[in-house]
Each structure stands twice: as structure tokens, then as C-alpha cells.
A = this chain, B = another copy of it.
Amino acid sequence: MRALAGGRRRRLRYNGAVIADLSSAVPMPPLEAPPNPILAVVTRNGLVESWHRGAVAVVHDGELVLQVGDAARPVFARSATKPMQALPFLERGLADRLHLPAEELAVMVASHDGAAEHTAAVRSLLARGGFDEAQLGCGPHAPFDQDSRLALLREGQRPGKVHNNCSGKHSGFLHLAAACGDDVAHYLDPHNHSQREVNAAVAAMAGLPGPLPTGLDGCGAPTFVMPLAALAQAFCRLANPGDQGPVRAAACRRIVAAAAAAPTLVAGAGRFCTALLRQWPGACFAKNGAEGVYAVALSPDPGRRRWPGALGLAIKIDCGNERGYQPVVVDLLHRLGALPAELPPALAAFHRLPVWNTQKLQVGTVHAVVSWDLR
């Protein structure tokens, strides 16, 4: 194996502004490290066709109770940190000042489908600060939601920035930048006041000393590098924020409540996140991140005999494919006693993901193959 390029360009500039900053010490994942185990397989006619490796971390009441593979390896947490990135907005009282409905808070922490309900919520959220879509720093991409994508194309329209799955987060950042006195034209600069507040909130939730190193996310916002176990810790804290003081604790609870009130705003009608949010209304936050990242927060529940406290789960599929984590997350939640013995149909669909061919015949499944070592 060759030594990997990288670790040199610690600060990346664009139009004079720093847009990514990895200058904090980030250990480079060793290429020769023991490989993470196989978490899920893809079958065809009963034979394994493809394999997905990865790592899992489970934090229970602040304690790392399970790691599969290398949970200390740093990952780009990508969109999984969105609930933490919204904390400064809430803690500055902006939600109350702007009379924000749950839908607009939900879309602020979403990787949304770009359907009509999402773009409407984002436009309303922008309008509350007199902002315009053109001020969004994220680039455009076609809506994830197929019907919305096709409708847009049939109307001869091009996808806009508002369709970007992160447009709610960016809208919140614009409000925050204005509240912090930043130049809103540079609201994505990781060194401005508002983004330093965001960085500090993410670091505190993850239990890490800040500032966290950041890379450039798909949408142009800073994305945070942290060990996978720290992401699980952040989600455990989201589920039970008691140690974060009353202001932050209230902000965490408001995010979980907004997601329960508007679960499709956080993702979309057929999406995995929305199915999980509906399973535990008001007691769950579930979030995907690009390149195979997923994290779940579950509030304390005495009904889970072995794990009655707050739970934070985080997973990274090494190859970056989301089909690798969906069955694994359901399998783990089942094993933790958070789901009934017989899986609810909405989650069973993700536990054994069907592989269809173009003739609409099922040729195989994607399913978990982990034997959870939970004593």
C-alpha cells in the first residue's frame, strides 16, 4: 500500500475565505489497521454478492457499552450532526423570537426530500428573517423525492438551492449569523462568530475539546471530524441533556419534540429517519449522514430492561453506502430491546431491504450479519 496523500492542505480557501479547516490535530486513520467487520451482506438468489464493512458505537447513559470494529476511528460525521448544529439558534432564543412552528425547526435539522412541504417550510423560515433563497450558500441538487423530482422536470424547471437537502440548516445558519452580527454573505466561514458557536455546541455534545476540525460538506457548510464513539455520545446527550444546563437541555428537548411533531419534515414520507421518528414519538432523534453515517438518540425508557437509560448509537459503513447501515441499525435497536420481538412493518422493511430487478422480481436482500456482543 502506498502512503496516502493528504493531511497537508490543513486550511482550504475559496474566494479568500477559509472554507475548511483541519488544522486541529486529527489522527489519520491508519490504512493498515485491522479491518472493520462485515456488518451487512447483499444476496442474489441466496448467494452473497456484496459485503458492507463498518463500525458501530453504542453509548448508554454516557458510557460506551458496545463497539463493533474501530469506534475510535475519526469520521466525517456529515449531516448526522444537524441537531447539534441547530443548538445555538435555539439557545439564542431565535425560535421564540421568530415564532417558529415545529415544521420549520424540523426542516432545520433535516436532510430533507425536497418535496413541496420541505421547500415551503424552508421558504417560510427564510422569510422570517427577510432572507432570500439566493442568499443560501448551498448548491442546488434535484429533490431526493422522486415525485417532486419528476414534477420539477416536467414543468421544465431546474432544481434550486432550496431543494438542497440541507437548505433548512443553511436557513437557520443565516438567522444565526445575523443574530451574531456576522456578515451574512460569509455565514459559512468556520471562523466567523456564528460558526464558532456551532462548533462549540457540537464539541460539547460530543464530549470533545473544541474547536473540532472541519472539512467541507456536500452543501458547503463545515462538517465535523470526530471519533465514531463521540458521535454516539452526542446522540446519547441529545436524548438526555441533563448535564448541559437548562438552556441547552431545553433546546435539545425542543428538537426532539419538533421531530416528533413533524417527522416527514426531517426526511420524507418513505425515508428511514421518518420511520424511526414515528416509532418513538417524542423519544427519538434519528439522522443520516452522507457516506454511510447514521446516528440514533433514544430517550430513557424503563421498558428496555437491560438498557433503560438514554441511548446514543452511531454507525459508519466503510464504503459509504446507506444500504449497509439501514438493516444494521434496525437489528441493533431490536437487540437492545427497543423494538418488539416482531418488528413493526415500517421498520421490518428496512431490516431486510429487498433487492429488486427491473422485472419487479425480488432477487435478494440486504441484511445484517452481526452477532451483537451485548452482555
Binding site for B on A (CB under 8 A): 1-2, 4-10, 12, 14, 19-20, 22, 26, 28-29, 31, 35, 37-38, 41-53, 74-76, 137-141, 150, 153-154, 156, 164, 215-220, 223, 225, 291-292, 318-321, 324, 357-361, 363, 367, 369-371
Contacts and interface: CB of A to CB of B under 8 A. Distances in A.
A142 to B, nearest CB: 10
A164 to B, nearest CB: 6
A35 B6 contact: no
B217 A43 contact: no
**CB-based closest 4 A-B pairs:** A139-B358, A6-B46, A319-B319, A50-B320
A152 to B, nearest CB: 9
A138 B321 contact: no
B359 A138 contact: yes
Given A5-B367, A153-B154, A220-B358, 5 more contacts: A1-B369, A51-B318, A139-B357, A216-B363, A220-B357
18 contacts: A5-B367, A12-B45, A14-B361, A26-B47, A28-B48, A29-B48, A31-B38, A47-B74, A51-B53, A53-B53, A53-B318, A53-B319, A139-B357, A153-B153, A215-B363, A218-B358, A220-B357, A319-B324
Copies of this protein, total: 2
A45 B20 contact: yes
A74 B44 CA distance: 13
A50 B1 contact: no
A369 B2 contact: yes
A369 B32 CA distance: 11
A22 B46 contact: yes
Contact of A216 (B9, B45, B225, B319): B45
A10 B370 CA distance: 25
Contacts of A220: 357-359, 361
Contacts of A53: 35, 51, 53, 318-319
A35 B37 CA distance: 9
Contacts of A44: 76, 215-216, 223
B225 A47 contact: yes
Contacts of A321: 319-321
A114 B1 CA distance: 38
A46 B359 contact: no
A168 B369 CA distance: 37
A229 to B, nearest CB: 18
A81 to B, nearest CB: 15
Contacts of A20: 45, 363
Contacts of A360: 139
A220 B139 CA distance: 38
Nearest to A220: B359
A223 to B, nearest CB: 8
Nearest to A188: B359
Contacts of A29: 47-48
Contacts of A359: 137-139, 219-220
Contacts of A357: 139, 216-220
Contacts of A7: 46-47
Contact of A1 (B2, B35, B137, B371): B371
A43 B291 CA distance: 11
A45 B28 contact: no
A44 B164 CA distance: 20
B371 A2 contact: yes
Contacts of A367: 5
A148 to B, nearest CB: 13
